Structures are given as C-alpha cells and as structure tokens.
Amino acid sequence: MASPPSSARPARIVVLVSGSGTNLQALLDAIAADPDGFGARIVAVGADRDDITGLERATRAGLPTFVCKVTDYGSRAEWDAALAEAVSAYEPDLVVSAGFMKIVGQEFLARFGGRTVNTHPALLPSFPGAHGVRDALAYGAKVTGCTVHFVDDGVDTGPIIAQGVVEVRDEDDEAALHERIKEVERTLLVEVVGRLARDGYRIEGRKVHVGE
C-alpha cells in the first residue's frame, strides 16, 4: 500500500481521542513549534464522548471537534459508519487514534484502512486490549513500553511502525508505570507521525517501510 502524504502540501490529520489527550497535545505542540517543517497539520479532533480534556485541548488550539457516541446509534455498525462519515468530512491523509478507546469497524476500515495509526501502551503483540499496562504489570513483565501501529480489523494487531521500551520497576503500580510509558509514547507518536507525513510509507504484509 502506498502512502498518500509526502507531497508538497502538509498531510491532513484527524486525531481521535477518548480521554486526557496528552498525545494529542504533544502533536499540537510539535506542529506549532515547526509548522512548515513538521509536514502535517491537524484539521479536526473527534471523540466518542463529551466532557473530556482531549476535546478542550483541541478547542483551545482553535480546531473543529466532533463527537460520535456509540449510545446515539442503533447498532455498532451504524456508529462506525457515522464515525467514518464524520472523519471523512475533513478529508484526512492520516487518522491518528491517540488514546481513542473504541475498536473501529468495517466501514471505517474500508475508508481509512492503511492510513489509521494507533498508539498502544504495551509492546505488541504482548498485552493487547484496553488494559495493556495493568496486564503487563500483573504478568510480571520486566520491560514493557508502547507500540505505534497501523489499525487493522483485529484488536491491536495491525502492522507495527515503531516501539519504545520502558523498564518495569518493583515499586510500580499501574498509574506510575502508565505515566512513564506515556512520556515515551508521546515522543514516539510525534516522531512517527512526522516521518509518515514527510517521508511517505509502504505497508507490505506486516512490514511498514517509511521513507523508502
């Protein structure tokens, strides 16, 4: 699969969030620090719920926002189609799921498969799902970390773009470990999104080639 970005104009990015939005903020800050050089701009921020700091961050940055709540639709498939429609209104080159805690479905992937990036707080394929930090800790892993990957139709199973490693400390609880993972995760996500946008990419099976 060939990449859409890497042309003269900056790549258009829609970011999806469900919570505090510190990964979104890291992207906003990196783009603001180098608007011409970063190679991408965020054109909208979507969420699956109201009243989250992630949406406040977007509004503060002057970005349009939209909310697609599962409970507003008759079925999961209808929600998925509505989300795909809301995202496509902003004509993104890349969609970034930055702490978006919903699994997208067929309609969304039909439109945005191969250009939707997710960040997960564990070293995939270990500890997929909603409790990656808790599960790594409970398992007794000595290292964990974060994974930035393309989204496919599984739960955190898509082709891996980059990973960052974080050591687990004896005194860690879930919150402390997640906080250290998020520090690494924010840097990694900014670096990956910038490279995808500036250098382009190809997905061949499970391998992602950036800038080749």
Token digits for 193? 């999104």
Contact yes or no for 190/30 (Cβ under 8 A): yes
Q: Which H or E element spans position 26?
A: helix 22-33
Residues 43, 13: contact at Cβ < 8 Å?
yes
Under the binding rule (CB under 6 A), the answer on residue 120 touching ligand GRF is yes
Contact 68, 77 (CB under 8 A): no
**Which residues are known to be catalytic?**
120
One residue of 99, 113, 164, 194 binding ligand GRF per CB under 6 A: 99
Taking the complex as a whole, the smallest distance from the CB of residue 7 to ligand GRF amounts, in Å, to: 28
Q: Does 200 count as an annotated binding residue?
A: no
To ligand GRF, the closest distance from the beta carbon of 45 in angstroms equals 11
Letters for 172-201 (x = contact with ligand GRF by CB under 6 A, - = none) are ----------x--x----------------
Nearer to ligand GRF, 111 or 186 (CB): 186
In whole angstroms, give the CA distance from residue 18 to residue 58.
Answer: 12
Residue nearest to ligand GRF (CB): 99
Applying CB under 6 A, among 12, 14, 16, 22 the residue interacting with ligand GRF is: 22
Considering only residues 23 to 42 of the shown chain, the ones binding ligand GRF according to CB under 6 A are 23
The sheet carrying 143-150 orders its strands as 65-67, 40-47, 11-17, 94-97, 116-120, 143-150, 160-167
Q: Which is nearer to ligand GRF, 19 or 114 (CB)?
A: 19
Number of residues that bind ligand GRF (CB under 6 A): 14
Asked if residue 57 binds ligand GRF (CB under 6 A), the reply is no
**How far apart are alpha carbons 183 and 165 in whole angstroms?**
11
Nearer to ligand GRF, 115 or 182 (CB): 182
CA distance 19 to 40: 23
Q: Quick check: 119 binds ligand GRF (CB under 6 A)?
A: yes
Residue 163 · residue 147 · CB < 8 Å: yes
Q: Work out whether 19 is an interface residue with ligand GRF (CB under 6 A).
A: yes
Binding piece for ligand GRF, criterion CB under 6 A, among 19-27, 28-36, 86-94, 155-163: 19-27
Helix extents (H) in the chain: 22-33, 53-60, 76-88, 106-112, 132-139, 174-199
CA torsion 103→23→194→64, rounded to 10°?
Answer: 80
Q: Binding site: what residues are annotated?
A: 21-23, 76, 101-104, 118
Return residues touching ligand GRF (CB under 6 A): 17, 19-23, 54, 98-99, 119-121, 182, 185
